[in-house]
């Protein structure tokens, strides 16, 4: 399977993708105790690229993107984000984290703060933005995700879809150059999935570099310029979405796609 | 289904039914009585039995309280006035009022000083307890410990000023170096404060006026309920920050810090408070250099603070454990540093969860301050057990004195409990 991954390596970016490297992962390995979760991951993400990572549960896709902003530590190989090599140096880690936005499956908004405070907290404390300015930015992004009228409510008063859109706005307030999405729609009702996906599509159209772990294949078709399939901690196959869905090469991918698209 | 029964189901209302008053036995006090006191036969029987018990208790205590004597000067005079009638001898309270509140050695002409300190305590505590008040009031809160110290103990004003300068100096050094690393700032601040205090110690000694503005009162002259309040307020306000530090330390990934915190917490929790108090009163002097004469009050404060901070740390650890991991991850993913993440995200939520537990310990701590009577400090209970009950005038007035002590403690503890419930309602934002 590993050799299929090698042969399938494509570097033919679609629209608006520059040659500038945003994330470079080389021979990255991770273990949970004795369990080998990620094996020899090689991945180069160019600025403006939109990558969808899919695969069966336990394949290591979430772990992979969590390694990129050091929520998980990798044990071997290297990860370079925006030219900064990820090491155990806390200053480095904080720098990378403030450049990389992240959205979680369970939103992880701060329940004791209002929506507006959720959005202004990091800009004020990490970027040292003046409060007024941070609030203006926050309102701008809340308008973008279409919930400016909820700014003074608490997260617990919002629906799941609204909370996830706030979470996206909260990340955007830090003006990240890269966005990571960890199954952003898996905890949502079908109706709410659409509103979150619409927000993500809009973001993609603006040229944000995005890595998205998701099972929303429609989203992958519409937005991604590369789909990566992972299994057992390895990248099994990657290709342009068109080719990926029409003509999957590896038998594991074929099986996965037949199961996920079969009904 | 809807088409088969369309005819029989269709219905249009053409006149509105006017609202009618509810039946008399379904509203007001009648309904309340019926539902709560006389719902069933067994229920009614229990109500009557309970009323009878209440009657028994009141018929025994009310005449005793209402027939109480307030103006005599000894128990035997009480008995003469009462002449066999039921009645309490409350005269002990009115006659020994000042002793119960201030102890028997505090100079009576200086009672205004601790009283003023108590009044100022309310002003100082207000902005901490009620955060809707203007934040500028916190300046007074920060100055309060030094003012209160000077008011209660008196002596040279240089002592609290030097203490304050030490804290300010320490803070300045801390804020200067904390940008480099927290440890540098923290230890730098402590060293700076110690240096200021050390130098200040010589200055205060050299400049100590023979007749200070406020006459000095030594710690052994403090007593009564004042002593309980002082110990309670000092130890609660010191043990909460220490408890937070211990709880965070116990979660630390650094083995040394984690080890120290675990050993401290487990050791202190495994030892009775009385033992620690005896250590404070008798043995602690061995641990200090011989020329250092550490005040007994300070030694007791250290021991009670250590004791309750270990418990508070465990309560807060429970609050920290109750937070979903996602909160830590979200804070991390936004690039917040550890201290920021703790202060802005984790602790506000963990402390909110821990409020009932912390209040539980604070109330317990306040009541435990009466244990200092065992090491011959004359707090409220110490005063009652010692000088008052041992005197020839009042030998045997147990109910009145201990009832009064219970009442004083109840008022304070109930107040704390009510405050904490208000606080929980005020902080409820998650609408789960």
**Residue contact A122–B335, C-beta within 8 A:** yes
**pLDDT: is A5 or A199 the higher one?**
A199
**Residue contact A97–B330, C-beta within 8 A:** no
B432 part of contact set with chain A, CB < 8 Å: yes
B327 part of contact set with chain A, CB < 8 Å: yes
Q: CA B309, CA B264: separation in Å to the nearest integer?
A: 10
Kindly give, in sequence order, each residue whose CB lies less than 8 Å from that of residue A186, ignoring residues fewer than 6 positions away. A105, A214, A215
- Please report the pLDDT score of residue A26 as a whole number: 92
Look at residue A4 and tell me whether its pLDDT is greater than 60: no
- Please report the pLDDT score of residue B78 as a whole number: 86
- Please report the pLDDT score of residue B255 as a whole number: 93
Select from A90, A100, A111 the Cβ nearest to the Cβ of B430: A111
Task: For B400-416, write each residue's pLDDT tens digit.
Answer: 899 999 999 999 999 99
B431 part of contact set with chain A, CB < 8 Å: yes
Q: What percent of chain A has pLDDT over 70?
A: 93
Weakest-pLDDT range from B58-62, B73-77, B238-242: B73-77
Task: For B183-201, write each residue's pLDDT tens digit.
Answer: 788 888 899 999 998 888 8
B6 — pLDDT class (breaks 50, 70, 90): low
- Please report the pLDDT score of residue B283 as a whole number: 76
Mean pLDDT for B315-330 is: 94
Residue ranges of chain B that CATH labels 1.10.3720.10? 221-432
- Model confidence pTM above 0.90: no
Weakest-pLDDT range from B33-42, B379-388, B414-423: B33-42
Q: What's the whole-number average pLDDT of chain B?
A: 88
**Residue contact B429–A156, C-beta within 8 A:** yes
CATH fold, domain B221-432, is MetI-like fold (1.10.3720)
Select from B327, B337, B349 the Cβ nearest to the Cβ of A94: B337
Mean pLDDT for B32-36 is: 82
Burial class (CB in 10 A: 0-12, 13-18, 19+), B147: middle
- Please report the pLDDT score of residue A1 as a whole number: 39
How is chain B split among helix, strand and coil, in percent rounded to 5? Answer: 75, 0, 25
**Residue contact A154–B429, C-beta within 8 A:** yes
The greatest distance separating any two alpha carbons of chain B, rounded to the nearest whole angstrom, comes to 107
**Residue B151 — φ and ψ, nearest 5°?**
-65, -45
**CA triplet A206, A207, A212: central angle to 5 degrees?**
105
Query: For testing the chain B interface, which of A122, A160, A179 should be mutated: the one with the most B CBs within 10 Å?
Result: A122
Mean pLDDT for B240-264 is: 94
- Please report the pLDDT score of residue B3 as a whole number: 55
Q: CA A100, CA B334: separation in Å to the nearest integer?
A: 8
**Residue contact B340–A156, C-beta within 8 A:** no
Q: CA B260, CA B247: separation in Å to the nearest integer?
A: 11
Query: For testing the chain B interface, which of A125, A154, A166, A171 should be mutated: the one with the most B CBs within 10 Å?
Result: A125
Please give the order of strands across the beta sheet that includes A226-231. Answer: A100-103, A178-182, A209-213, A50-54, A226-231, A234-239
**Residue contact A156–B344, C-beta within 8 A:** no
Q: CA A54, CA A253: separation in Å to the nearest integer?
A: 10
B73 part of contact set with chain A, CB < 8 Å: no
Length of chain A equals 263
Mean pLDDT for B220-245 is: 93
Look at residue A119 and tell me whether its pLDDT is greater than 90: yes
Q: How far is B347 from chain A (nearest CA, A)?
A: 11
B428 part of contact set with chain A, CB < 8 Å: no
B336 part of contact set with chain A, CB < 8 Å: yes
Query: For testing the chain A interface, which of B131, B179, B334 should be mutated: the one with the most A CBs within 10 Å?
Result: B334
Burial class (CB in 10 A: 0-12, 13-18, 19+), B296: buried
Q: Which residues of B touch A90 (CB under 8 A)?
A: 337-338
- Please report the pLDDT score of residue A13 as a whole number: 40
**Cβ atoms within 10 Å of A14's Cβ, excluding its own:** 14
Q: What count of CB pairs under 8 Å joins A to B?
A: 77
Question: Which ipTM value was assigned to this complex?
Answer: 0.87
Select from B331, B335, B431 the Cβ nearest to the Cβ of A98: B335
Q: CA B7, CA B93: separation in Å to the nearest integer?
A: 84
């Amino acid at each position: 399977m590993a050799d299929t991954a090698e042969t399938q390596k494509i570097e033919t970016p679609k629209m608006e993708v520059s040659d500038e490297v945003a994330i470079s992962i080389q021979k990255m390995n991770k273990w949970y105790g004795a369990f080998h979760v990620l094996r020899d991951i090689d991945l180069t993400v160019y600025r403006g690229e939109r990558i969808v990572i899919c695969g069966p549960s336990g394949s290591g896709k979430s772990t992979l993107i969590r390694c990129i902003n050091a929520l998980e530590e990798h044990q071997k190989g290297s990860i370079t984000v925006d030219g900064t090599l990820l090491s155990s140096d806390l200053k480095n880690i904080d720098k990378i984290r403030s450049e990389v936005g992240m959205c979680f499956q369970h939103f992880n908004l701060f329940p004791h703060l209002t929506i507006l405070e959720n959005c202004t907290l990091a800009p004020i404390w990490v970027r040292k933005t003046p409060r007024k300015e941070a609030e203006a930015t926050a309102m701008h992004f809340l308008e973008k995700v279409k919930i400016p009228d909820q700014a003074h409510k608490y997260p617990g008063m919002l629906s799941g879809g609204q909370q996830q859109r706030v979470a996206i706005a909260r990340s955007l307030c830090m003006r990240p150059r890269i966005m990571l999405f960890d199954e952003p729609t898996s905890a949502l009702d079908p109706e709410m999935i659409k509103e979150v996906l619409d927000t993500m599509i809009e973001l993609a159209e603006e040229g944000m570099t995005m890595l998205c772990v998701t099972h929303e294949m429609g989203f992958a078709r519409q937005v991604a310029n590369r789909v990566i399939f992972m299994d057992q901690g390895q990248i099994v196959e990657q290709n342009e979405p068109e080719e990926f869905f029409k003509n999957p090469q590896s038998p594991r991918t074929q099986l996965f796609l037949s199961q996920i698209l079969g009904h | 289904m809807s088409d088969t029964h369309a005819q029989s189901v269709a219905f249009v209302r053409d006149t509105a039914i006017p609202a009618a008053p509810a039946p008399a036995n379904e509203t007001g006090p009648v309904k309340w009585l019926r539902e709560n006191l006389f719902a069933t036969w067994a229920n009614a029987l229990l109500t009557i039995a309970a009323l009878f018990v209440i009657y028994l208790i009141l018929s025994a205590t009310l005449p005793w309280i209402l027939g109480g004597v307030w103006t005599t000067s000894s128990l035997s005079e009480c008995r003469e006035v009462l002449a066999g009638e039921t009645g309490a001898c409350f005269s002990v309270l009115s006659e020994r009022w000042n002793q119960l509140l201030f102890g028997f050695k505090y100079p009576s002409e200086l009672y205004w000083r601790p009283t003023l300190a108590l009044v100022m305590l309310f002003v100082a505590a207000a902005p901490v307890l009620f955060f809707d008040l203007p934040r500028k009031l916190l300046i007074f809160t920060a100055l309060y410990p030094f003012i209160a110290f000077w008011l209660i103990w008196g002596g040279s004003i240089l002592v609290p000023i030097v203490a304050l300068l030490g804290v300010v100096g320490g803070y300045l050094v801390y804020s200067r170096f904390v940008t480099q690393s927290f440890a540098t700032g923290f230890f730098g601040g402590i060293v700076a404060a110690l240096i200021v205090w050390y130098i200040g110690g010589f200055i205060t000694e050299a400049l100590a006026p023979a007749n200070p503005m406020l006459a000095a009162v030594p710690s052994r002259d403090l007593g009564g309920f004042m002593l309980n309040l002082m110990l309670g307020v000092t130890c609660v306000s010191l043990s909460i920050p220490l408890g937070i530090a211990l709880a965070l330390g116990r979660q630390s990934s650094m083995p040394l810090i984690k080890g120290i915190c675990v050993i401290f917490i487990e050791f202190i929790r495994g030892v009775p408070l009385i033992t620690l108090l005896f250590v404070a009163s008798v043995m602690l002097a061995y641990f200090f250099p011989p020329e250092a004469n550490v005040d007994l009050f300070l030694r007791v404060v250290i021991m009670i603070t250590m004791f309750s901070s270990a418990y508070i740390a465990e309560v807060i650890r429970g609050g920290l454990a109750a937070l979903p991991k996602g909160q830590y991850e979200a804070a991390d993913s936004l690039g917040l540093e550890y201290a920021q993440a703790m202060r802005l995200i984790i602790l506000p939520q963990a402390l909110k969860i821990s409020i009932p537990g912390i209040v539980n310990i604070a109330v317990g701590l306040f009541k435990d301050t009466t244990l200092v009577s065992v090491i011959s400090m004359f707090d409220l209970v110490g005063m009652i057990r010692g000088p008052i009950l041992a005197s020839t005038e009042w030998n045997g007035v147990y109910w009145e004195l201990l009832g009064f002590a219970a009442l004083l403690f109840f008022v304070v503890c109930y107040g704390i409990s009510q405050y904490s419930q208000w606080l929980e309602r005020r902080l409820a934002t998650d609408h789960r």
